[in-house]
Structures are given as C-alpha cells and as structure tokens.
Chain A
Amino acid sequence: MSQAKVPAWVSVGLIPLLNILLAFFVSGLVFLAIGEDPIEAAGYLIYGAFGYDEGIGYTLYYATNLIFTGLAVSIAFKAGLFNIGGEGQAYIGGLGVGLLCLWFDSSLPLIVIAPLAIIGGALFGAAWAYIPAYLQARRGSHIVITTIMFNFIASSLMVYLMVNWLKAEGVMSPISRTFEESAWLPYMHDLFSPFGLDIGGSPLNMAFILALLCCVLYWGLVWHTRWGYQLRTVGTNPTAAQYAGIDNAKVTIWVMLISGGFAGLVGVNEIMGVNHNLLLNFTAGYGFAGIAVALMGRNHPVGIILAAMLFGALYQGGAELAFEIPTITPEIVVVIQGLVILFSGALENMFKGRIEGFFLRRAAA
C-alpha cells in the first residue's frame, strides 16, 4: 500500500532550478538576437548582483521589498485568495509610515518612532486591504477585481494627497519635506562600520531584518497556531472548513488584513529607510513582483526569501548590465524578469510530470 514519493530536493530544488536555467537559456537567445554575447552579459549580471559589497547590498535591499510583498501574496493564497492589491497596499502603507514620520520626527526619538511607523505602515496597508476583504467575505465581490481596482484608487489618492496636502513648501515636485534624521531607519553600513566592517554604501537598512522577522512570524502563524490551522483548512478545503465550524468569512477578512499589513511594510523600507520623505510611485511594481516571488517561493517563507533574492539580483544585476552594455536597455532586463516568471510560474509544470515520473519509477524499481 505504501506510495512512492518524489524526494523533497527534487520538487523544491531541482525543478525550480531547471525552470530558471531554461529562462536564462532563452534570455541568452534574446541577447544573441540583439547581437550581444550572452556569456558576457551573464557575467555582468552576476557581478552586478553579487560581485562586490555595494552590489550585494542593493540586491538585498530590493529583496527586502519583495519579501514583504511575497509574504503578502502568499499568506492570502493560503486561504485561497489571490491578492493582486499588494501594490496599492504597499503604497498606502508607505503613506502611513510617512505621515507618522512627518508628525513625530522632531518630537520623538528613533526608538519610539520606528515601532510606531512599523505598526502604522502595517495598519494602513491592512486598512486598504480591509475593504476588498469585506466585500469578498460578506458580499461575494471577487477579490481579484476589487484589489486591482484598489491599486488604481490608491494611486489616485496618493497623487491628490501629495499635490494638495503633503507637498513641501517651495518645491516644484510632489514630494514632502525631508524627515529629521531621528526618523531615518539606520543603514546597515552605518550599523556595521563601528565594528570595522565596511559593506559599501548601499541603501540596505534595518527593514531587511524586519522582513526576516516577518518570515518567522509567517511561519509560526501559518503552521503553529490554531488560526493558521483554520486558514489552511479554508484555503485547501472550504467545505471541510464549514463542516469544522470555521467561519470562512472571518478567516478571509483576517488573512487579508495580515496580507495588507505585510505589503504595507514596504513603506518602512522605502520611506523610512531610503527616501526619507514621502513621494509618488515609490512602490515601483514590487506589489506585482510579489506575486511571482510567492509563486516561485512555493508559498513558504524560506522559498520566498530565496525567490526574493533572485528577483533582487535580477533588478540589481540588470541595472548593472544596462549600464555596462548600452545596447541592453532596461526593457531587455524586464524581458529577462518576464522569462523567469514565465518559466517558473506559468510553465511550472512543463518538466514537473516527466521529472517526478522519473524519480517515482526509480523509487519503485
């Protein structure tokens, strides 16, 4: 009666790796098509992402945002919900962080502002996710549609607020005044320099630690609390959840609040950690990239960290590549990212059946 199983390293290691390699192979063909040497390009990309301290710092800085949005998409997915609104939730979360910093930067020390802003960012993001969640749970409006809509609403709202209320006096562009330094999240390089460690001048800051803590929180919440138990039941078998007396609507609303909270923390990294003022469009598509990160990370925090690093490396290495080889425009870098998403997401099952079959037969023999 015993059933053969595919070894874990195959399904979480080998198959994703093959998918990525195939994506890089096709990217290589694209480089050949525009007359560039793919090996040389790959060299620049890898060097740019991992070759020197500052590069690594940038990679991790991008990864920080992607971990937040990846967790956001992933935890909603655990309840069977597709939260496409990470972008808007991150945007509004950033607004919350910015407002708190603007209000308290001259009156409170960092040790107080930082937790306030973190909670504020999460609450603002959660609040933005609440309305689609409520509509889904109580009115049956599809969450994919409503969260997409709320991305646009968030975008318009931010423009309105920035232009009419939050713009600093005497500047021509819609940015707020710069925060006092007491509301700046410490950079990693500042943190490490007292110990004689020089890790270059990247924007990597304390928010990276926060992102890792969120991964631990996610893991404990989903797999070790009764709420996580309910969440997974609702996500995998809603009928069984009903049978078990679980309130599906309540779980839906709570998971979306947490999802929005994770997304909102992008604001901590961007606003408090790097820009030090409130501005437009700082989310730069991280909310959407989070979908790919969650997908590739197999909805597991460790996978999400790895996937976020991969995409972070593509962002950073891609920028380096576009800088070094002028014919490679930033758009080509987006093509590579697209191919990675295509092969590891949409075409995920291309090799899966055959490879699993191979290992099943080997296990059986």
Chain B
Amino acid sequence: MSDQTHPYAIELEGISKRFGAVQANKDIGLQVPAGTIHGIIGENGAGKSTLMSIIYGFYEADSGTISIDGQQVDIRNSQDAIKVGIGMVHQHFMLVENFTVLENVILGAEGGAVLNQGISAARKELKRLEQEYSLDIDVDAVVENLPVGLQQRVEILKALYRGAKILILDEPTGVLTPQEADHLFRILKSLTEQGVTVLLITHKLREILASTDNVSVMRQGEMVAHRETATTDKEELAELMVGKKVRLKVNKDEAQPQQAVLTAKELSFFDGQGVERLKKVSLELKAGEILGIAGVSGNGQSELLNVLSGITPMASGEIQFAGQTITANAAKTAAQMRDLKMAHVPEDRHKMGLVTGFEAYEAAVLGYHDSSDYNGAILMDRKAMLDECNERMAAWDVRPPNPHLKTANFSGGNQQKIVIAREVEQNPEVLLIGQPTRGVDIGAIENIHEQIVKLRDAGKAILLVSVELDEIMALSDRIIVMFDGAIVGQVDASEADERTLGLMMANAWNEEQGAPE
C-alpha cells in the first residue's frame, strides 16, 4: 500500500467492541500512513463512530491494540488521546458560543490559576499556528458571530493548540456549503503538508473522492476494504458499503405539473427570541411536481415546514390551500391541516415524527389517532391498529415486521419507513417531507426515493426539504434556495448545477464568480 520507510501514524490491530448483543466493531485493522488524509466511509451503524471513539478514548476496546508512530499506546480517556497527539473535531461543535476564539481554544488548557499569563502565551502560540496553517481566523472574534465554516476552524485550531499530530474529523461537512467544504479540504491538505495526519469520517462518497489519499470502507462493524482513492470510484465504494450493487441515480420521468394546490404569500415567522426566521417567503406548489428546498441547515427550512403544516402559527402572510385561506388570524392547527389532506414527514423523526417509547403500531397512528379507523366508542381499536400496522409493514418492507417492537429499536431506515408509510398511506394531496433520508442506509434510500417519485406521478404535490444537495438535485423538478429565512434563488432542476446552488446557499450568487470568501 505505502512505502515501509516511514511508519504509520496510526495502526490498529484486531480492535473489537461489543455493546450488549451488538458487535459494533469486529477485529478491525487499519494502517494510516503519516501525512495523509485517510477517509473512513460506511453507512449509519457501520461502526465508524465507535471506532473513532475508541481511538479518542471515549470507549475502551474489548480487545486489540492501537499504535501511534509505531509505539503501542494505551488510551483510556480523551486526556490520554490528547497526550499522544490525537485531536478530534466533532460533528456538533463543542464551543462556548459567547467566548472569543482565544478563550475557546485555551478552555481546559489555561495553564495556571491566573488567566492573564496563559492568555498572552496562548495568543503568541495561536498566531503562529494560525499563520503556519493559514487558517485565517481573528482570535479575538466572539464565536457566536462567526459563520459555521469558521467555527469549525476554531475546532481545528483547538486540536492543533493541544499539539495534535493526528486529526479526526467526524462528518465535518454536514453544516457547510459545497464551497465551504472545498475550503475545508484545502486546509486539511495544507495540514498534511505540515506532517499532520487526517482521519476523515463521512458517509458522502463525493467528499471521499475529492479529498482523501486512501479510503477504508466499514460495513456492519467490519473493515471490508482498503483502497487507494485514485484507484476507486463512487460505484465501487457504494457497493462495498452496502454489500450489493446500488443504483445511485433516481429513475424518474419528466414531471407533469398541473394546477397549483398550495400557494404561500409572504409568510413571516419570529422565534421565541424575536428573531425573524422566515422573511416574507412566497411559493407555489403544483400537483404532480416535486419542489425542492435547498439550503444549509438552519436557514429557515424547518420553520417553513412548521408554518405550512400548522405546527407553529405564522406571524403574517397567507396560505391558500384546499379552498381555504389561512392567515395569522384565521390559523389552522396541525390536526386541521391533516384533515385538509396535508401530510408531513418531519425533518427529525426522533424529535417530532415518532414517539420512540411507543410500540410501532402506536407510533404508526400518530397524528391520525383521532380517526374513526382506530377508535371505538370509548376505547381505541387496538386490533384495527395492529392489523393495519402489519399490512403496512409488509407493504413497505419494514424490518423486523413486529408491530410490538418499540420504535426506538428499529434502524433509522425502518423508522423512516414507518413515518413515511403513515403519511403517504393517508393519500394526501400535499406531502411536506423534510430530510427524507437522513440517517437512512443507502439500500433504503433508493426505496424511499422511489416512493416519493411514485407519489408525484400519482398527481400529488410534494415539497422536499433536504440539506443533501445530491438528493435535492436527484429528486426535484424545481428548486428553491433558502438563506437566512428568505428565498434567494429559484432554478429549474434541469438547469441546476452544484456550483450555482452552492453559491446561492451562501447567498453569494450575485457577487460575480469565485468562492465567496
């Protein structure tokens, strides 16, 4: 694989970890040459995070050894990991929002009881690091005022300040625009030139191909393949991840849009802090089309879904739907919107779409629990609920097909199937669907996408919100881009490309050409 003259930065041998009955990691071997970017790819639940947690000392492996620069080490907690030069950038940033960059970096490494001394020493060191790696950060800026891309660099700086020679990044691009992601990869590249080794964990094939030197694929707790990135491609990696051939493209015909079924005019919404989260959003949704809403997470997409579905009341504006005019003064509740045949697959199935403590058959009627289908005169009709749940589990291939299993115990893909089946089987006129394949295995993604297209072809209107640009581009017939609560662009799917959408997502489309930074 690589030349034997310089040792591996990390070498794992026979790492196994078991949680109860689940074998999360099984006899994992991994060799990462120093100064390279090494990708680890795998589906949700493949054991990537467990493996990284073992390297970083959150868990102890049941068996196996870890060697750093050829030296076997014993990592029992994250302090040990930092000592041997491992730094981790988490998917969710671990920053104190109202501290400055400098304060965040020295947190936990203040160097004494009196702050001043530590701070001035740290300032010097930070300046050096920041210049050496061209990170381009103002160390006195308050973190909450920084865009997410820069916050992530603060996390990287934190790790470097603690002397990290090996940097682990867990799904680092989840909150970044494509341009920000490219910038991150450039930084990582320059880090490797300075001798830092990078471990990049992701489920996005594109990023692996764009940024890594080598890639290892995990499936069901095992390391199934190691490849030099230059010698592999998307199709091969996807097949290795899933264990069978997968189709990455969605098969769909040209859309046949008909009359508008839902019209929103100048919707506004303010959150609890009085921040305007939706700024006069207007859109029109036609029967027989999929309207995709693209945007970096947190730019008003969730609020739009909530307002349209009646979960949160709008501040102003108007929705025309099913012959009704809905305004702030003539609001409809989520239950009333359902009665008008609007179905909603929420973005976060754990927080909103399911009650994870409920058995599957109970979660499968959430929102429709008042329907006469499921109720007798006084008591709920358990048998009807169970029969229907059994039927749907068979039709949608939910596994295991056990209506009494707690929803928390299904895999992400199967939970999502329970939610989508519940909403789609009500035969709605409008389907709002948020992040339909978040945390869903590649194998199940195909199936979910097919179902969405099938519903469109049946003449229903679908509003799709997703932060995965690939998904938006694969499914949508029309694409709207949201930034900071407003619609900043609209394109026909046939004319959309990643660069244009990316610039729109960063609200930099009008600044002619070039990356926005």
Contacts and interface: CB of A to CB of B under 8 A. Distances in A.
Interface of A: 1-4, 220, 224-226, 229-230, 232-233, 236-237, 239-240, 242-247, 357, 360-361, 363-364
Interface of B: 18, 20-22, 309-311, 333-338, 344, 346, 351-358, 362, 366-367, 369-370, 374-375, 378-380, 382, 399-400, 409, 411
Given A1-B400, A233-B366, A243-B367, A364 B18 contact: yes
Given A232-B355, A244-B334, A225 B21 contact: no
Given A3-B20, A224-B379, A233-B355, A242 B369 contact: no
B22 A3 contact: yes
Given A3-B20, A236-B355, A243 B311 contact: yes
A243 B355 contact: no
B401 to A, nearest CB: 12
Contact of A3 (B18, B311, B370, B409): B409
A225 to B, nearest CB: 6
A232 B411 contact: no
A231 to B, nearest CB: 11
Contacts of B344: 243
B369 A226 contact: yes
B399 A1 contact: yes
A220 B379 contact: yes
B406 to A, nearest CB: 9
Nearest to B309: A243
A3 B402 CA distance: 13
Closest 10 CB pairs of A and B: A245-B335, A4-B21, A245-B334, A364-B21, A360-B20, A244-B367, A243-B352, A224-B379, A237-B355, A236-B357
Contacts of A236: 355-358
A243 B354 CA distance: 10
Given A240-B366, A364-B21, A245 B353 contact: no
A233 B379 CA distance: 17
B380 A225 contact: yes
B72 to A, nearest CB: 28
B355 A240 contact: yes
B110 to A, nearest CB: 34
Given A3-B21, A361-B20, 15 more contacts: A1-B400, A3-B409, A229-B362, A229-B369, A233-B355, A233-B358, A236-B355, A236-B358, A237-B351, A237-B355, A243-B344, A245-B310, A245-B333, A245-B367, A247-B333
Contacts of B21: 2-4, 360, 363-364
A363 B21 CA distance: 7
5 contacts: A4-B20, A224-B379, A232-B357, A240-B352, A247-B333
Nearest to A234: B355
Given A1-B400, A2-B400, A229-B380, A244 B366 contact: yes
Contacts of A2: 21, 400
A175 to B, nearest CB: 42
A224 B382 contact: yes
A236 B411 CA distance: 20
Given A233-B355, A243-B367, A1 B411 contact: yes
A243 B334 contact: yes
A229 B357 CA distance: 12
A86 B366 CA distance: 31
B399 A245 contact: no
B358 A232 contact: yes
A232 B359 CA distance: 12
A243 B409 contact: no
A242 B20 CA distance: 35
Contact of A240 (B20, B333, B353, B411): B353
Given A1-B400, A224-B379, A230-B369, A364 B20 contact: yes
Contacts of A220: 379
A246 to B, nearest CB: 8
A361 B20 CA distance: 5
B355 A245 contact: no
A224 B380 contact: yes
Most buried by B among A226, A230, A237, A240: A240
Contacts of B337: 245
Most buried by B among A4, A233, A247: A233
A239 B367 CA distance: 12
A3 B24 CA distance: 12
Most buried by B among A226, A230, A363: A226
Contacts of B366: 233, 240, 243-244
Most buried by B among A230, A243, A360, A363: A243
Contact of B353 (A1, A3, A243, A364): A243
Contacts of A357: 20
A229 B366 CA distance: 9
A343 B22 CA distance: 31
A220 B338 CA distance: 27
A331 B450 CA distance: 70
A203 to B, nearest CB: 35
A209 to B, nearest CB: 22
A275 B111 CA distance: 70
A233 B351 CA distance: 12
A188 B22 CA distance: 55
A220 B380 CA distance: 10
A360 to B, nearest CB: 4
A240 B346 CA distance: 10
A225 B370 CA distance: 10
Contacts of A229: 362, 369, 380
A242 B334 contact: yes
A346 to B, nearest CB: 23
B375 to A, nearest CB: 6
Contacts of B338: 245
B20 A239 contact: no
Given A230-B369, A245-B333, A237 B20 contact: no
A233 B338 CA distance: 18
Contacts of A363: 20-21
Contacts of B409: 3
Nearest to B18: A364
Contacts of A225: 378-380
B356 A237 contact: yes
Nearest to B370: A226
A2 B22 CA distance: 8
A116 to B, nearest CB: 24
A355 to B, nearest CB: 13
A240 B364 CA distance: 13
A193 B369 CA distance: 49
A67 B270 CA distance: 46
Contacts of B375: 226
Nearest to B365: A229
Nearest to B382: A224
A7 to B, nearest CB: 13
Contacts of B357: 232, 236-237
Nearest to B410: A1
Most buried by A among B310, B346, B358, B411: B358
